[in-house]
Chain A
């Protein structure tokens, strides 16, 4: 299995809702990432987990809460988002911190 699987593919949520994005990989990668991508922009790093521990938080607002339950799963919990948080949320994994990222197809999030 050489894929990173993200669910759901599309999500529409209100500003008072709580939702979660899920990411799964079975490549034995020990680093996992959340990225945010706005239209016509490069991916923007949010969080890095290395060996299931949070190692980088790029000053992301607390309304985004990551979780790594085990080495194959990564969640992003969303609460009280703003319309400007609407974007494509990408999960990625890699064998180590910088080499050979594999990206998922992303979750297209719309906050209304």
Chain B
């Protein structure tokens, strides 16, 4: 089945800096890669996703890139703000079992 690794586990940046979170996956047939943001006491919220036929996708300050050959994808947050502080999870499809497999999470802390 699919295995997703996520790095780093924690990331501290200053407000205004960029943040990058990286994930690798094992199932070469995976075709959907969402990113979720989870704030304290809340459920995960989908912030951006990318499909395997696209190399990059942007939405204002966030972007996701996908390298199918290397089987890795990354979340990029520019001009970080304190409200970006949260835990971020990447995920990938397990095509055999038709479910999402989550990475282990990255705790992002943006200091003012």
Contact = CB atoms under 8 A, between A and B. Distances in A.
**Most chain B C-beta atoms within 10 Å of own C-beta, residue among A55, A100, A101, A105:** A101
Given A104-B43, A105-B42, A105-B43, A98 B105 contact: no
Interface in A48-63: 48, 55-56
Given A42-B103, A45-B99, A98 B43 contact: no
Contacts of B41: 105
A100 B43 contact: no
Given A40-B105, A98-B93, A103 B100 contact: no
Interface string A78-112: 00000000000010100001111111111000000
A25 to B, nearest CB: 12
A48 B94 CA distance: 14
Dominant secondary structure of chain B at its interface with chain A: strand
Contact of A42 (B42, B45, B102): B102
Contacts of A42: 89, 102-105
Contacts of B99: 45, 48, 56, 97-98
A8 interface: no
Contacts of B105: 40-42
A56 B103 CA distance: 20
A48 to B, nearest CB: 7
**Most chain A C-beta atoms within 10 Å of own C-beta, residue among B34, B49, B89, B100:** B100
Contacts of A6: 43
B59 to A, nearest CB: 14
A97 B89 contact: no
11 contacts: A6-B43, A40-B105, A41-B105, A42-B102, A43-B44, A45-B100, A48-B99, A56-B99, A104-B43, A105-B42, A105-B43
Interface of B: 32, 34, 36, 41-46, 49, 89, 93, 97-100, 102-105
Interface of A: 4, 6, 40-43, 45, 48, 55-56, 90, 92, 97-106
